[in-house]
Amino acid sequence: MKYQGIIFDLDGVICSTDEYHYQAWKRLADNLKIPFDRTINNRLRGVSRMASLDIVLEKSENRYTESEKAVFSEMKNTYYRELLGRMSPEDLSDEVKETLVILRNAHYKLAIGSSSKNTPYILERIGLNVFFDAVSDGNQITHSKPDPEVFIKAAQMLALKPEDCLVVEDAHAGVEAGVNGGFHVAAIGDASTDSRADYSLTSFKDLLKYLET
């Protein structure tokens, strides 16, 4: 097989929690009377919570202290977790579920590589907490995407070399992270036009076109 492992980004790839990130940031921005739209939101994909906040605050006329920023980041996370709390295994699409099972049955090692500190909670909500061979997430890294740390950790957990793994990403920062780490990359959604990716996917099951199963 060309690849032995597949490392999936979480928000925007496995599930649509990218929409909940948008709604939670929008709620915070509205509270602070800062303009915020989906174009700005796309810049937050794959980026850590604090780095995302700095991008959101670019449009503010005020300058905030680090302790104020800590409060805002906590507020956004509270809004976000409220939305996550409403999720259930029904929020995992049949397409993603069926494709993951086909890949598992074809003996690929499967991992998550997400910048999110909420990864364990999300996986639990959608019923995938014991599915993956490895979970590398925002709780274990010091550098967020586009740094490749989260994917390198995932590959190490799978005991594979980066060149033997395919990263699946919806964020430009994530595609860059994959390329920086020496991984092959399949891009979907917002990142699908990113020319640095090896493959452009129009849907999750498109992966099966490029992988032996």
Q: Please tell me whether residue 171 binds ligand B16 under the rule CB under 6 A.
A: yes
Q: 89, 88, 87, 57: which is closest to 72 by C-alpha?
A: 57
Tokens 């939101």 belong to 41
Nearest distance from C-beta of residue 178 to ligand B16, angstroms:
11
Extract the runs of DSSP E, i.e. beta strands, from the chain. 5-8, 109-113, 134-136, 165-169, 184-187, 199-200
Q: What stretch of H or E contains 54?
A: helix 49-57
Among Mg ion, ligand B16, none, partner that 41 touches (CB below 5 to 8 angstroms by kind) = none
Map residues 12-51 to x or -, x wherever contact with Mg ion holds by CB under 5 A.
x---------------------------------------
Nearest distance from C-beta of residue 150 to Mg ion, angstroms:
11
Q: 117, 107, 119: which is closest to 8 by C-alpha?
A: 119
Nearest distance from C-beta of residue 104 to Mg ion, angstroms:
21
Q: Please tell me whether residue 27 binds ligand B16 under the rule CB under 6 A.
A: no
Among 5, 6, 7, 9, binds Mg ion (CB under 5 A): 9
DSSP 21-50: HHHHHHHHHHHHT----HHHHHTTTT--HH
Among Mg ion, ligand B16, none, partner that 126 touches (CB below 5 to 8 angstroms by kind) = none
Tokens 């796309």 belong to 42
User: Catalytic: 9?
Assistant: yes
Among Mg ion, ligand B16, none, partner that 52 touches (CB below 5 to 8 angstroms by kind) = ligand B16
Between the alpha carbon of residue 132 and those of residues 74, 101, 184, the distances in Å are 28, 11, 19
Among ligand B16, Mg ion, none, partner that 138 touches (CB below 5 to 8 angstroms by kind) = ligand B16
The one catalytic residue in 11, 137, 170, 190 is 11
Nearest distance from C-beta of residue 32 to ligand B16, angstroms:
17
Contacts with 25 (C-beta within 8 Å, 6 or more apart), sequence order: 36, 41, 44, 52, 56, 76
Among 149, 170, 176, 190, binds Mg ion (CB under 5 A): 170
For the annotated catalytic residues, the residue numbers are 9, 11
